[in-house]
Amino acid sequence: MRRGLAPLALAVAVACALGACKKDEAAADAGPAAAQQAPAPTPESVVSATVTAMSPDQLRTEASKAYGENRLYAPAGNNAMEYYLALRDKQPADAGASSALTDLLPMTVIATEQGIAREDFADAKRLAALIEKADGQHPALSRLKAAIASSETAALARAENQKLTAEEEAKRQEELAKKREEDQKKQQEAAKQQLAQQTPAQPTPAQQTAAAAEAERQRAAAAEAERQRQAAAAAEQQRQQQAAAQPAAPAPARAASSELRAISNPGPRYPQAAQRAGAAGSVQVEFTVNSDGSVGNVRAVSSDGPRQFQREFEREALAAVKRWRFQPVAEATTTRRTIAFQQ
């Protein structure tokens, strides 16, 4: 009986061993397939959740930092493209983000083509998703997607013919990731240098942010000056009303006739260039009211506002004051007024 069971046990052991080998081969084949079946990034998911959760101020800071350190479109989750895309989602009117994305798109297109060439399809799909989110109508987008699909199909067919083992495939993926990191570092540095040579006069995102902050400060200062002017005018009007309500006291005829009473004081024309730029300012004008009520000796004493628009503000303020008319006075009187330009 023992002799009869021995061959049977040996056959069972061989069958188990063969089954285990087949399972190992199936697991080895399933490894690359599982990696290939991972969901590709989309325009909705390509920006990491960590980046999306940042505030606009944090995004501006991180974007400028990434741009300065040549992290233009890589690594994933920590690059200028993702920061600027998230900032544009939160503040669509941010001109700095839109300008930076326009500069970064050509570099990202080139990086996508290079990823396809080295058969790094995961990164090529990520870069294509960044391009699509930045500009869904980009002329290179359909070409890049078609190239990724055809090249990936060819690579899968070639891999099927070669039947790489799991160890060989893991080694190939490791070498591919290392080469990707080296290539991206060199490409991003070269792309930034090329962009700097092509557009030397273009301000950096950090400079754009500083310029926007300065413009906002000037607008706030102009608004405060206008508020103070209006408050002073309201106080003067109230004083005049109170004085008018009180019994008139005898006064020399000459003093009464010397009070300036405006008959016509049309406002200035707002310069179109300053209006389009949202610029505000004010001009203090000195002029003389002649005895017949006409205005002469008009000059600008001081002006406030963006430097590139000060001359236009002064010109329009002087033109407006020259058209003013007052009631006749006993003698010519020189005075000053502040003309405000506020949208």
pTM, entire model: 0.44
C-alpha closest to that of 153 among 128, 186, 119: 119
Instruction: Show the domain range for 114.
Output: 24-202
CB contact at 8 A, 187 and 114? yes
31 and 176, same domain (yes or no)? yes
Residue position matching structure tokens 């297109």: 109
Residue 101 inside a domain? The answer is yes
170 and 94, same domain (yes or no)? yes
Q: What is d(CA 281, CA 303) in angstroms, rounded to the nearest whole number?
A: 7
Residue 171 inside a domain? The answer is yes
CATH code of 307's domain = 3.30.2420.10
CB contact at 8 A, 228 and 342? no
Instruction: Measure the CA angle with vertex 56, ends 51 and 57; round to 5°.
Output: 105
Q: What is d(CA 130, CA 44) in angstroms, rounded to the nearest whole number?
A: 9
95 and 150, same domain (yes or no)? yes
Residue 222 inside a domain? The answer is yes
254: tokens are: 């000459």
336 and 229, same domain (yes or no)? yes
Helix (H, G, I), strand (E, B) or coil at 92: coil
172 and 272, same domain (yes or no)? no
Alpha helices in 163-204 (DSSP H): 166-198
12: tokens are: 């069972």
C-alpha closest to that of 294 among 321, 269, 315: 321
Given the DSSP bridges, would you call strands 281-289 and 295-304 parallel, antiparallel or unpaired? antiparallel
42 and 191, same domain (yes or no)? yes
98 and 48, same domain (yes or no)? yes
181 and 35, same domain (yes or no)? yes
Separation of CA 209 from chain center: 9
Torsion of CA 117, 123, 129, 130, to 10 degrees: -100
Cis peptide before 75 (omega within 30 of 0): yes
214 and 303, same domain (yes or no)? yes
CB contact at 8 A, 327 and 294? no
Residue 3 inside a domain? The answer is no
Residue position matching structure tokens 């083992």: 165
Residue 121 inside a domain? The answer is yes
Length of the chain counted residue by residue: 343
Q: What is d(CA 274, CA 299) in angstroms, rounded to the nearest whole number?
A: 21
Which of 180, 202, 224 terminates a domain? The answer is: 202
The type of residue at 11 is A
Q: What is the pLDDT along the chain (343 residues), one digit of tens a residue?
A: 444 444 444 444 444 444 444 444 444 454 444 445 678 899 999 999 999 999 999 999 999 999 999 999 999 999 999 999 999 999 999 999 999 999 999 999 999 999 999 999 999 999 999 999 999 999 999 999 999 999 999 999 988 888 767 888 888 889 988 999 898 888 898 887 877 776 555 666 667 777 777 888 888 888 888 888 888 888 888 888 777 666 544 444 344 456 889 999 898 999 988 888 888 899 999 999 999 999 999 999 999 888 888 899 999 999 999 999 999 999 999 999 999 988 7
90 and 159, same domain (yes or no)? yes
CB contact at 8 A, 42 and 129? yes
Q: Tally the domains of the chain.
A: 2
44 and 79, same domain (yes or no)? yes
Beta bridge partners of 262: 326
- Secondary-structure breakdown of the chain: helix, strand, coil percentages, each rounded to the nearest 5: 65, 10, 25
